Amino acid sequence: MVVKKYQDLIAWQKGIALVAEVYSISSNFPREEMYGLTSQVRRAAVSVPSNIAEGQGRASSGEFVQFLCHARGSLYEVETQVIVAEDLCYISAEQAEGLIQRIGELGRILNGLITSLQARKSRVPPSSNHY
């Protein structure tokens, strides 16, 4: 399957779903966290599909891989912030577990995409341009 636009990527679709869930769950955080954990976890979540989209729009697969790695880093941020939210009793253990499972799934998808792009890049023959 050839991906023509970033919206076709399962990683991006699952990233968007994660954003919606993070926004929903974080809407119940204490009001005093509006500029703290609430803002931070939302920004990190939005960064995941945003980096996937930006990377897919880049000129080379190497740049795409770089942005996918940024997305994976943001995903780890979200996971850490979910753990903090659970430790602070802002979310239940069940909510945290559900989010962490989805984060793990998306992480595996990103890792597969990164590995696939890196393998494809290493199979490309050197340029035959001679000056």
Mean confidence (pLDDT) of the chain: 91
Number of domains in the chain: 1
* Residue 129 confidence (pLDDT): 42
Higher-scoring residue by pLDDT: 120, 100: 100
| Residue 26 forms part of a structural domain | yes
The CA-to-CA distance between both ends of the chain, in Å, stands at: 35
Strands of 35-110, DSSP E: none
Q: What is the pLDDT of residue 123?
A: 66
Q: Among residues 60, 58, 19, 59, which one has the least CA distance to residue 42?
A: 19
pLDDT at 127 over 50: no
Point out the least confidently predicted range of 34-38, 86-90, 91-95, 118-122.
Answer: 118-122
Q: How far is CA 94 from the centre of its chain?
A: 21
Q: Which two tokens stand for residue 2?
A: 């050839």
Q: Is residue 129 part of a domain?
A: no
Provide the 8-state DSSP code for 58.
Answer: S
Out of 14-23, 27-36, 46-55, 122-131, least confident range:
122-131
DSSP 109: H
pLDDT digits (tens, 9 = 90+) for 47-102: 999 999 999 988 788 999 999 999 999 999 999 999 999 999 999 999 999 999 99
Question: Which of 54, 103, 96 is CA-nearest to residue 74?
Answer: 103
Return the structure tokens found at 82.
């979910």
Residue type, 86: E
CATH number at residue 50: 1.20.1440.60
Q: Give the pLDDT band of residue 2 (cuts 50, 70, 90).
A: low
- Range(s) of the domain holding residue 52: 9-121
Picking from 69, 73, 46, the residue whose alpha carbon sits closest to that of residue 117 is: 69
Mean per-residue pLDDT for 97-126? 88
